[in-house]
C-alpha cells in the first residue's frame, strides 16, 4: 500500500482552476519531487494536502486513512508535517523552543497543569527538553540551542524548520523549496541531510524544488505540474528527459 495516495484532487480560486485532477502515489520512505514552472500549482497542492485549503474534488489517503477535509492540526497528528517556501519560524524564540513547539503537538498536558506547573507538567517539560536536544543534534544545531532563531544564519534556519517539522514525528515530510536562497555548498549539505533524515526516521519525503541539482541528485521519482495539471510522472531521469517537460520549462 502506498503511504500517500491522492486521487482526482482539485481546487479553484475564482475562475482559476489552480489544481485539476491531481493524482499521485508515493511509496513508504520514497524521496519524491514535485516540480513545474512558476505558478503551476505546486504550493497549492501542499496547502491541499495539509488542510490549509479544502479541495472541491478528490481524495487524500495517508497510510490507509482518508484525511480529506480534515483540519491542519489533525492532519499533522495524522502524520503530515511541512516547511514553507518563506521560512516560518518563531523568530523571537530560542532554537530549542522552536523544536519544542513541534513536540507539543505530540505531548499535550492540560492547561491547568501548565499554569500551576504541577509535577506532570515539569516531567513532560524535562522530557521535551531532552527530546528537542536530541533532534538538534541530528540537525547539527545543538550548539545554537539557546540562540534566538532570527539570529541563525539562513541555511541553519532552514534546517531548524525541518527539525521542528520532524519533532511532530511525521510519516510524510513536505518540503517547499528547501534549497531556495542557498549557495551550492549549503545545497549540498541539505541534500545529505534530507537523505540522512529519511534513513534515520524512515520518513517519506515529498519536496517542491526548482534547483535541478537537488532534484536530480536526491529525488527517485518526479511529478511535473503545468497549469494545475499533471504533465508527466515517473523515474527522475525519464521525466527530466521528456520532451514535453523540457518544452514546459522553456515556455515554448
Ligand atoms: N489563495 C489563493 N487565492 C487566489 N489564487 C491563488 C491562491 N493561491 C494560489 N493561487 C493561484 O494559483 C496558482 C498556483 O499557485 P501556486 O503558488 O500553487 O504555484 P507554484 O507552482 O507553487 O508556484 P511557484 O513555483 O512560483 O511557487 C497561481 O496562479 C496563483 O496565483
Distance CA 180, CA 85 (A): 8
Does residue 104 surpass a pLDDT of 80?
no
- What are the extents of the domains in the chain? 91-153
Give the residue, by CA position, lying nearest to ligand 1 atom 2.
13
pLDDT tens readout for residues 44-100: 999 999 999 999 999 999 999 999 999 999 999 999 999 998 888 989 999 999 999
Mean pLDDT calculated for residue range 187-194: 93
Whole-number Å distance, alpha carbon 196 to ligand 1 midpoint, is 31
Residue 249 has a pLDDT of 79
Using a 10 angstrom Cβ sphere, with 0-12 exposed, 13-18 middle and 19 or more buried, the burial of residue 59 is middle
Distance 21 CA to ligand 1 centre (A): 16
DSSP string across 111-180: HHHHHHT-HHHHHHHHHHHHHHHHHHHHTT-GGGTTSBGGGS-HHHHHHHHHHHHHHT--SEEEEESTTT
Spell out which residues line ligand 1, taking CB within 6 angstroms: 13, 16, 18, 36, 38-44
C-alpha distances (whole Å) from 125 to each of 52, 101, 102, 169 are 29, 11, 13, 17
Q: Which atom of ligand 1 is nearest to the CA of 44?
A: 18
Angstrom distance (rounded) from CA 215 to CA 231: 17
Whose CA is closest to 75, among 112, 108, 46, 42? Answer: 46
Q: Which residues pair with 61 in a beta bridge?
A: 5, 66
Nearest CA to ligand 1 atom 25: 38
Distance of CA 59 to the CA centre of its chain: 19
134-172 pLDDT, tens digit each = 999 999 999 999 999 999 998 899 999 999 999 999 999
Task: Give this complex's ipTM.
Answer: 0.93
Q: Which ligand 1 atom sits nearest the alpha carbon of residue 225?
A: 21
Considering only CA atoms, which residue is closest to atom 26 of ligand 1? 38
Average model confidence (pLDDT) for the chain?
91
Amino acid at each position: 500500500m502506498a503511504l500517500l495516495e491522492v486521487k482526482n484532487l482539485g481546487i479553484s480560486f475564482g475562475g482559476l482552476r489552480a489544481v485539476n485532477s491531481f493524482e499521485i502515489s508515493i511509496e513508504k520512505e520514497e524521496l519524491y519531487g514535485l516540480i513545474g514552472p512558476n505558478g503551476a500549482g505546486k504550493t497549492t497542492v501542499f496547502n491541499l494536502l495539509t488542510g490549509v485549503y479544502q479541495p472541491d474534488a478528490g481524495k487524500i489517503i495517508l497510510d490507509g486513512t482518508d484525511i480529506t477535509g480534515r483540519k491542519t492540526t489533525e492532519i499533522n497528528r495524522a502524520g503530515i508535517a511541512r516547511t514553507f517556501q518563506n521560512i516560518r519560524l518563531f523568530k523571537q524564540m530560542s532554537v530549542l523552543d522552536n523544536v519544542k513547539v513541534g513536540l507539543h503537538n505530540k505531548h499535550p498536558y492540560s492547561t491547568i497543569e501548565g499554569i500551576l506547573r504541577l509535577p506532570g507538567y515539569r516531567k513532560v517539560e524535562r522530557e521535551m527538553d531532552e527530546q528537542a536536544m536530541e533532534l538538534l543534534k541530528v540537525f547539527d544545531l545543538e550548539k545554537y540551542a539557546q540562540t534566538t532563531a532570527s539570529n541563525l544564519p539562513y541555511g541553519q534556519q532552514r534546517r531548524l524548520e525541518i527539525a521542528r517539522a520532524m519533532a511532530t514525528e511525521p510519516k510524510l515530510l513536505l518540503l517547499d523549496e528547501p534549497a531556495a536562497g542557498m549557495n551550492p555548498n549549503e545545497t549540498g549539505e541539505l541534500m545529505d541531510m534530507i537523505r540522512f533524515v529519511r534513513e534515520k526516521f524512515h520518513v517519506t519525503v515529498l519536496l517542491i524544488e526548482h534547483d535541478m541539482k537537488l532534484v536530480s541528485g536526491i529525488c527517485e521519482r518526479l511529478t511535473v505540474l503545468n497549469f494545475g495539471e499533471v504533465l508527466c510522472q515517473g523515474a527522475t531521469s525519464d521525466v527530466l528527459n521528456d520532451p514535453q517537460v523540457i518544452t514546459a520549462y522553456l515556455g515554448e
